[in-house]
Amino acid sequence: MSHNAESTAFRSALEVIRAVEPRVADAIGAELTDQRESLKLIASENYASPATLLAMGNWFSDKYAEGTVGRRFYAGCQNVDTVEALAAEHARELFGAPHAYVQPHSGIDANLVAFWAVLADRVESPALKKAQVRQVNDLTEADWFALRRELGNQRMLGMSLDAGGHLTHGFRPNISGKMFDQRSYGTDPATGLIDYDRVAEAAREFKPLILVGGYSAYPRKVNFRILREIADSVGATFMVDMAHFAGLVAGKVFTGDFDPVPHAHIVTTTTHKSLRGPRGGMVLCQPELADQVDRGCPMVLGGPLPHVMAAKAVALAEARRPDFADYAQRIVDNAQALAEGLLRRGAKLVTGGTDNHLVLIDVSGYGLTGRQAEQALLDSGIVTNRNSVPQDPNGAWYTSGIRIGTPALTTRGLGTAEMDQTAELIHTVLTQTTAGANADGTPSKAKYTLDADLADKIARQATDLLAPHPLYPAIDLA
C-alpha cells in the first residue's frame, strides 16, 4: 500500500463519518494527534499497522457468525470462515501451537474460555458427562444441581496481584475470583523474583485444579518448564496467560524454558500489546482441550466479531515476517536501556531491572504514590500507568509504583539512546514533584505539586524526542 493510498483511505473514512456525526470524526482525529505528540509508555499499548486498522472497518462488522469454521448457526458465513481460518492458521504457525481459537473479544474473555474449557474437561460427574453429549435443554433440575456443585469452588493457584499477577487470575473483583477458590504465590521479598520452591510448596498444600503462569507487571522471564513440572506433580492443568509478552514469544526472544506454548496445556493471550494487533484475545491449546475451547461461543462469548478476526489475521501475518523478530528483540533492548538509565539516576526498580518489555518503578523513593506520579508524568506529556509493587502499602488504587513499557516507542523506531533520554525526562518529573496535603493537613495520596512551566518544558522535550520518529508517517489527515 502506498503512502498516498493510506492517507486517502483514512481521510475518506473521516469524511464519511463527519457527514453523520462530526464530533466523532473530530475525536478520532484528536486521538491521532494526541498519540503522535505523547511519549506513550503504557506497557499494554502499542500502535497497530494501517492494514490492521483498516481490516476492522468493513462489512464483516455486520455479520453474525456463532459457531466455528464450517459449523455456524447462521447462514452466509463463508467469508467469515475464510478470515477466521486464516487467523487460526497464522496463530498456529507463529506460536507452534496444535490448536488456535481466535474468537475471544479480549484477554479476559480468552481466560474465561480457558477456565471453562478446563473445568469441562477435568471435572468428572454424571451431570457433566450428560452436558457434553446432550442438549442443554434436556438437562433436568437434578442434573443442573449436580453440575453446579461439581463446577463450583474448584481451586486455582496464580501469581498475586501485587507481585505482578492479573485480576483474571482468581481475584475477587473479577469473575475468576468468584468461580474459583483461589490462592496466590508471590515473589521473594528480597529479590522480587518468583521462588519456584515456594510455588511448589503452595501447590502441594493447596492442590489446585489450575496452576496459572503469566503476569501483567512482572519484569522478568518465567521458567515455564519448572511450572509445568509443578503442575504435573499435583495433577493440575497448567495454564499460561501470555497477554503481555506474546510478541516476545512470537519474535523468538523467549524460547526454550521461557516459551510457554510447548509447556502449557492451554495458553491465552491478547492480540494487541507486544503482538501489535487489534484489541482482542486468543486461546492456544493442546489437542485434548480443543473441542472444549471451540465451544467458547456460546459458552461464555457472545457472537464472534468477524471484522476483528480479519484484523487478527492481518496482524498475525505481519508477525510471521522476519522483521518482527528484530522488532521483538528491540523491545527488550529498549526496556533494558530504559531500566539502566533510571537506575543510574537513582530510581528504585522492582527486581532491579528487566528481562522483558516492562519496567516497574517503585516511586516511594521519590516520596510519591503511583497515582501522584502517574498524573505528574501525564501533565508532562509522558503517558504511563500506576501499578502495585510487592507488599504495596498503598493498595491497588493509589499504589506505590509506575509501570512503563517499550512496545509502542519501539514501533515508532526509538532506540536505546532515546531510552536514556526518556529515563532523564521521567526522573526529572518525579524528582520535581512533591506530594500534596488534604484540607485538614494530612498527607494526600492523590494531590501533588509540579511547576507548570517545568511540566510544559518536559512535554516539549518529549515532543522533540519523538519528532524524528513520526507516528503513521504516511497518513496525512490535513
Enzyme catalytic residues: 64, 66, 241, 270, 273, 279
pTM for this entry: 0.91
Distance from C-alpha of 43 to C-alpha of 408, rounded to nearest angstrom: 8
- Tell me: the pLDDT tens digits for 140-165? 677 666 665 666 558 889 998 787 77
| Fold: same for 59-319 and 322-466 | no
| Structural fold of domain 59-319 | Aspartate Aminotransferase; domain 2 (3.40.640)
Taken in order 373, 375, 376, 378, is the CA torsion positive or negative?
A: positive
Residues linked to residue 360 through DSSP beta bridges, in sequence order: 403
Specify burial of residue 78 (Cβ count, 10 A radius: 0-12, 13-18, 19+): exposed
439 has pLDDT over 60: yes
**Residue 437 above 70 pLDDT?**
yes
Q: Specify whether the CB–CB gap between 51 and 278 falls below 8 A.
A: no
Determine the distance from the C-alpha atom of residue 95 to the mean position of all C-alpha atoms in its chain, rounded to a whole number: 17
**Where does the pLDDT of residue 1 fall: very low under 50, low under 70, confident under 90, or very high at 90 and above?**
very low
3-state secondary structure (DSSP) of residue 96? coil
- The domain locations on the chain are 59-319, 322-466
Distance CA 478, CA 473 (A): 13
Q: What is the pLDDT of residues 28-61, one digit of tens each?
A: 999 999 999 999 999 999 999 999 999 999 999 9
pLDDT computed for residue 126 by the predictor: 52
Distances (CA, A) of 318 to 129, 294, 329: 42, 25, 16
Go through the chain and tell me how many residues it has: 478
Mean residue pLDDT of the chain comes to 91
Which percentage of the chain shows pLDDT scores above 70? 92
Contact indicator for 206, 155 with CB cutoff of 8 Å: yes
CATH fold of 322-466: Aspartate Aminotransferase, domain 1 (3.90.1150)
